[in-house]
Structure 1
Amino acid sequence: MSHIDIEVKRIKEKLLEMWDLVDYQFQSGQQAMATVDHELAKQVIKLGKKVNDYDVKIDRMSENVLALFTPVAIDLRLMLATLKINASLERIGDDSEGIAYFVQKLSSPLDAQLFAETRTTEMYDEAKAMLTDCRKALLNDDTELAKQLIKRDKVLNKIYAKADGIIAKTLMEDPSKINEGLILFSIIKKIERVGDQITNIAEEIIFYRDAKVLRHKKKKKKKD
């Protein structure tokens, strides 16, 4: 195994360690939300520092490989993709922290009917499944699975697009639920952002393996 292969292996191991930590944050955010567990929410927030430490470490390791070994072709694409995947994971950690902060503002469980109508549980479960499958795509260099993830993000977008109208209607009928409605919508928005970051990671996996850039592809098609 060459020196660059050894360093790339070390970076990938660190990235997967960070991934597991972020995944735990995101899953714990849902549990804290469902049970209004302020202690668990506090733990999710506290883990943010550890995620940030991984972020800095992986960035430095990747930059060292770029500076010392001047990789080309697939190795270069892997390093460039790793830098962006690392950034996306850190943002998922931030979004998980954001969910935990909103949970801490709750004094009782969210309104069950509003929760069901906004399909929040369905949205959260799908985002968790996408994050798990995205890790598999990275681990196995599976570009087909990565492409499926990009399509699946549309489910989250559709739920998010309808949520504000559902919440607004409820608040107009019952103004006493304004605080609760705003917290719920803020959590839904965080989940939608996690879906966007997973899509970004999936695009980087495809870039690394197939040398194809998918970012902004749809926008370009609309202009033609």
Structure 2
Amino acid sequence: MAQIETELQMLKAEAINMWTLVNSQLSKARQAFLTFDKDLAREVVLKEKRVNGSELKIDRDCENIFALFCPVAIDLRFLLAVLKINSNLERIGDIAEGIAKYVMEADVPFSEDMLRITRILPMYEEAVNMLVDTQDAFEKEDTILARSVFKKDEFLDNVNRSTHKVLENHLKDHPGDYSQALWMLSIIRKLERVGDQAKNIAEEIIFYLEAKVLKHKGKFA
């Protein structure tokens, strides 16, 4: 096996480890949110340093491969994709940390009624699923699975668009929930950004495997 192939395989393994770490962060933040577990939320915040460290390591390794091997064709596309995916994953890690900080700072658990009417729980579940699907698509080199992420993102967008009006109506009858409504709106917006990052990752997977640039184009091209 050529040395560049070995280096690229090692880089792919690093990227998958980063994915697994970020997925764990997002899932643990979800569990902390559901159970109002401040200790688990604190664990997510503390582990953010590992996410940042992994991002820097992958960036350095990509730069070294560029410098040593001057890759072309699919190898070049793979490196470019990993660089962008790495950045997207780090941003999702930041979002997970932000959600965990909300749990740490909140005084009481969110009301069951607000959880239901905002659809935040199925939204969070779909956001985690999107991240899992992109990792599977990357590992298996499956562009069909990557494209399925775009449809899932539409659900997150719909929930985000409807939240303002839903909470406005809720607060007419429950003005005391104003503070919680602000927290809820902030978390929903963060989850919508997770969807955007996962969608960007899916686009990079398709670029790497098919040499198609989907940015600013129809997502099912």
| TM-score (norm. length: structure 2) | 0.96
Letter in structure 2 aligned against 1:209 = L
Aligned ranges 1:196-215 → 2 under 5 Å: 196-215=196-215
Size of the aligned set, in residue pairs, is 219
Q: Give deviations 1:140-182, integer Å, cap 9, x for gaps.
A: 1100111111122101100111011111222233222111111
Instruction: Please give the alpha-carbon distance, in whole angstroms, between the structure 1 residues aligned to 2:152 and 2:205.
Output: 16
- 1:106 Cα deviation (Å)? 1.7
Instruction: Kindly indicate whether residue 97 of structure 2 is the aligned counterpart of residue 97 of structure 1.
Output: yes
Instruction: Kindly indicate whether residue 74 of structure 2 is the aligned counterpart of residue 82 of structure 1.
Output: no
Between stretches 160-169 and 50-59, larger displacement belongs to 160-169
Cross-structure match for 1:152: 152
Cross-structure match for 2:119: 119
- 1:21 Cα deviation (Å)? 0.8
Q: SS at the partner of 2:107?
A: coil
Instruction: Please give the alpha-carbon distance, in whole angstroms, between the structure 2 residues aligned to 1:18 and 1:47.
Output: 12
- 5+ residue gaps in structure 1? 220-224
Aligned ranges 1:130-149 → 2 under 5 Å: 130-149=130-149
Letter in structure 2 aligned against 1:27 = S
Q: Give deviations 1:16-43, integer Å, cap 9, x for gaps.
A: 1111111111001111011111111111
Q: Give deviations 1:78-108, integer Å, cap 9, x for gaps.
A: 0000000000000000000010011112222
- 1:218 Cα deviation (Å)? 4.4
Q: SS at the partner of 1:217?
A: coil
- 1:204 Cα deviation (Å)? 0.1
Cross-structure match for 1:18: 18
- 5+ residue gaps in structure 2? none
Letter in structure 2 aligned against 1:24 = S
Cross-structure match for 1:222: none
Cross-structure match for 2:36: 36
Cross-structure match for 1:165: 165
Instruction: Please give the alpha-carbon distance, in whole angstroms, between the structure 2 residues aligned to 1:166 and 1:60.
Output: 45
Q: SS at the partner of 1:215?
A: coil
Instruction: Please give the alpha-carbon distance, in whole angstroms, between the structure 1 residues aligned to 2:150 and 2:218.
Output: 12
Instruction: Please give the alpha-carbon distance, in whole angstroms, between the structure 1 residues aligned to 2:218 and 2:168.
Output: 31
Letter in structure 2 aligned against 1:127 = A
Instruction: Please give the alpha-carbon distance, in whole angstroms, between the structure 1 residues aligned to 2:172 and 2:57.
Output: 48
Segments ≥4 residues shifted beyond 2 Å: 171-175
| TM-score (norm. length: structure 1) | 0.95
1:26, 1:96 within 8 Å by CA — same for their partners in 2?
A: yes
Identity percentage of aligned residues: 45
Letter in structure 1 aligned against 2:103 = V
